[in-house]
Amino acid sequence: MLLNVGPSHPAMHGVIRLVTELEGEKVIKVEAEIGYLHRGFEKSCENSTWTQVMPYTDRLNYVSPLINNFGYCMAVEKLYGIEPTDRGKYIRILMSEISRITDHLTCIAASAMELGAMTAFLYFMKAREYLYDIVEQVTGARLTVSYGRIGGVKADLPEGFAGNLERALKQVERELADVDKLLTKNRIWIDRTRDVGVLTRENAITYGITGPLARSAGINYDVRKAFPYCAYDQMEFEVPLGERGDNYDRYLVRMEEMRQSTRILRQALRDLPGGPIMVDTEGRVIESFDLVDEAKLGKTAGFMNITSKVEPTLEGTERRYQRRIAPPERAVVLPSKEDTYGNIEGLMNHFKLIMDYHGMRPPVGETYVPVEGANGELGFYVVSDGNDRPFRVRCRPPCFFNMAGLHTMLEGYMVADIIATFGSINMIAGELDR
C-alpha cells in the first residue's frame, strides 16, 4: 500500500512529506518531498545590502544561528581580503561551539522524546537553557541573534563571561552524564536504534553527506580539521567516528561531539587574547542618549575624548572595545557610537556604510567558504560585481544533502523506524528549504 507520512504529522514538523510504499509493516520505497517552507533566502540576499543579509542567515539553522552568521561573514571577508582580530576569531569559536552543543542537545532530546524517552528530553532542554542564557548575555537575543559582523562580531564579551560560561558548562556536563546513564545502555533505546537506519559509507559519499551522519559511517571529515578557520588549528580536539552508520552511532557521535566542544570552549577561554583597547584620555563617561542630543545641537567639542555609556543591548560596541573585536577597516566596520555622534568623520563613515546605494562594495570577484555547521559542511558561495548588494549568494546547506539520502536509510526497515531515523537526521527546515 501507499502511505503518506506528513506533512500533517507531529514528527514531520509540517514541512516534510514522505510518500512510502509498504509491504505489511515493511518500508519498500520512500520518496521525500521537501519545499513546504521555501523562504527564498538566496534571492532575498541578492535584494539586500551585504550587511542586511545577516538576519537572514539567522533563519537558516535557527537552532545554531551563530555558525551561519560567521560562515557568511567569512565569505565576504575573503572577498575583501581582510582578517578579523585574534580576539574576534576566538569569540567566533566560543559562540560557534556553544551553538553546536545547543544544536546537538536539541537533536538528541527530540529524537528521544519521539521514541518515548521524555525524561531525557527534559534533561537536555534544561541543559540547553543554561547555554541560551549565555548566548543572550553576549548577543542580546536567544535565537535570532544577528551577532556576526563582517570584520568581526557585534560586540565584545560581557563582564563575567568566563565565569558564567564555566558554570554553564559544568551544568551541561551533569545533564550529559545523566542522559548517558539513561540512554546509552538502555535496552529499549538500543533495540530501537542499533542497526536501524543504516547509512553506508558509499551512500554518504555518493550523496555528499557530511557532519555527524557521515562521521557515524566512519568518514573522517570535519571542516574544522580539514580546512581550519578562525583559530581551530590551535585547538586540540578529537573527531568522533562511528562504525555502523546507524541511528545508535549517530547518537554516540553527537554525544561525544558535545564533550569535544566543551573541551574546545575551555581552551578558547584559556587562550582568549586581550587585544588593543582605546583608552579615554580624560576618563569622562556620557550616556549615549545625551551624546545624541548634544550632537543634534552641534555641541560636539571634546567628544573625541569621551566614552559613551550605551544601553545594555549595545554593550561591548563602545570605542574602547572596537579595536579588540574588529580590524581598522573603514570600508567594512561600523564606527563606534562615540565617533558616529561625536565627529563628522565618524558620522560620514556610518552614513556611507548604511545608506542604500552607498554601503560596502567588495571588489569584483567570487569566493566559497565552508564552516563546520552542526549538521555538516555549511558553505557560502558569494559573487560580487562591485556594487553594494551581492550579485549572487549561494548557500550549501548540510540538511539538503542529508535529506537527499534519507530514503536509503528508511527503505528495508519498519514503519515504526521512520520517526527514529528521521529524527537522527536533525532536519532543520529553515536550512533545508532556504
pLDDT tens-place string over residues 141-164: 888 899 998 888 888 888 889 999
Q: What is the 3-state secondary structure (H, E, C) of the chain?
A: CEEEECCCCHHHCCCCEEEEEEECCEEEEEEEECCCCCCCHHHHHHCCCCCCCHHHHHCCCCCCHHHHHHHHHHHHHHHHCCCCCHHHHHHHHHHHHHHHHHHHHHHHHHHHHHCCCHHHHHHHHHHHHHHHHHHHHHHCCCCCCCCEECCEECCCCCCCHHHHHHHHHHHHHHHHHHHHHHHHCCHHHHHHHCCCCCCCHHHHHHCCCCHHHHHHCCCCCCHHHHCCCCCHHHCCCCCCCCCCCCHHHHHHHHHHHHHHHHHHHHHHHHHCCCCCCCCCCCCEEEEHHHHHHHHHCCCCCCHHHEEEECCHHHCCCCHHHHHHHCCCCCCCCCCCHHHHHHCHHHHHHHHHHHCCCCCCCCCCEEEEEEEEECCEEEEEEEEECCCCCCCEEEEECHHHHHHHCHHHHHCCCECCHHHHHHHHHCCCHHHHCC
Among left, alpha and beta (phi > 0; psi -120 to 50; other), residue 351 is alpha
Residue 331: is its pLDDT beyond 90? Answer: no
Per-residue confidence band for 282, with pLDDT thresholds at 50, 70 and 90: very low
Decide if pLDDT at 398 tops 50: yes
Is residue 5 left, alpha or beta, with left meaning phi > 0 and alpha meaning psi from -120 to 50?
A: beta
Bigger pLDDT: 422 vs 312: 422
- Whether 278 has a pLDDT exceeding 50, the answer reads no
Q: What percent of the chain has pLDDT over 90?
A: 65
What pLDDT, on a 0 to 100 scale, did the predictor assign at position 340? 79
Q: Identify the pLDDT of residue 277.
A: 36
Q: Which domains does the chain have, with CATH numbers?
A: 41-274+362-432 (1.10.645.10)
**Nearest CA among 220, 224, 268 for reference residue 372:** 224
Give the mean pLDDT of the chain: 88
Q: Which residues of 200-209 are buried (b: 16+ CB within 10 A; e: fewer)?
A: eeebbeebbb
Q: Which pTM was predicted?
A: 0.89
320 has pLDDT over 80: no
Tens-place pLDDT, residues 289-305? 666 677 777 776 666 66
- Average pLDDT on 354-382 reads 91
Q: Residue 213: its pLDDT value, please?
A: 95
pLDDT of residue 394: 95
Which pLDDT value is given to residue 305? 60
The stretch 415-423 carries a mean pLDDT of 92
Rounded to an integer, the average pLDDT of 404-416 is: 93
Residue 306 pLDDT more than 70? Answer: no
pLDDT exceeds cutoff 60 at 281: no
Q: What is the pLDDT of residue 276?
A: 45
Distance CA 235, CA 428 (A): 28
Strand duo 365-373 + 306-309: pairing:
unpaired
- Average pLDDT on 248-252 reads 96
Task: Quickly tell me which residue has 571529515 as its cell.
Answer: 221
Confidence of residue 7 (pLDDT cuts 50, 70, 90): confident
